[in-house]
Amino acid sequence: MELLLAVQNVIRVRVLVATNLNKVYGESVKLTKDEKKYLSKLADLGCIICYRLGYAGTPAEIHHVRGMGLGMGVRSSHYDTLPLCPEHHRGNTGYHGMGRKAFERQYGTTEHELLNQVKEMLDEKDD
Ligand SMILES: [Zn+2]
Ligand SMILES: [Zn+2]
């Protein structure tokens, strides 16, 4: 049963990524092959906040980290992204529900720290 659930989770993530890439990006965004590969690996990690709370592998959406020297509201590269579940992304306890400052306070971290953690996790997976 555990394995079945795990497999179902992976499938759900794949589906979410496929629908998300168009839905979340809204306007038609052309992704390179490498970007698609990266984003699907990213979503495979599951929600980074859930992970920190001890629940690994929650199906995730892609959140773009903004304002990396580009000015607020400017979308940064597809590599500056976080996997967040719908709740931690858009819900009342999520990034867009609370706003960045409250979100960072609530989870005792910063967006950039999460970004570094995600990149480390991806590096480990590659080894
Ligand atoms: Zn989550
Ligand atoms: Zn977002």
Can you give the CATH number for the domain in which 99 is found?
3.30.40.190
As a whole number, mean pLDDT of residues 84-90 equals 97
**Structural domain for 25, as ranges:** 2-126
Q: 64 alpha carbon to ligand 2 midpoint, in Å?
A: 5
**Proximal ligand: closest to the CA of 81:** 2
Q: 94 alpha carbon to ligand 1 midpoint, in Å?
A: 8
As a whole number, mean pLDDT of residues 76-88 equals 90
What does the pLDDT read at residue 75? 53
Q: Write the CB contacts of 32 (distance below 8 Å, at least 6 apart in sequence).
A: none
**Domains identified in the chain, total number:** 1
**Proximal ligand: closest to the CA of 76:** 2
What does the pLDDT read at residue 26? 45
The answer, as to whether pTM is greater than 0.75, is no
**Distance between CA atoms of residues 46 and 51, nearest Å:** 7
What does the pLDDT read at residue 68? 55
**Proximal ligand: closest to the CA of 53:** 1
| Residue carrying structure tokens 């992976």 | 10
Q: 34 alpha carbon to ligand 1 midpoint, in Å?
A: 25
3-22, pLDDT tens digit by residue? 555 555 554 555 455 545 55
- Classify residue 70 by its DSSP letter: S
Q: 89 alpha carbon to ligand 2 midpoint, in Å?
A: 6
**Proximal ligand: closest to the CA of 95:** 2
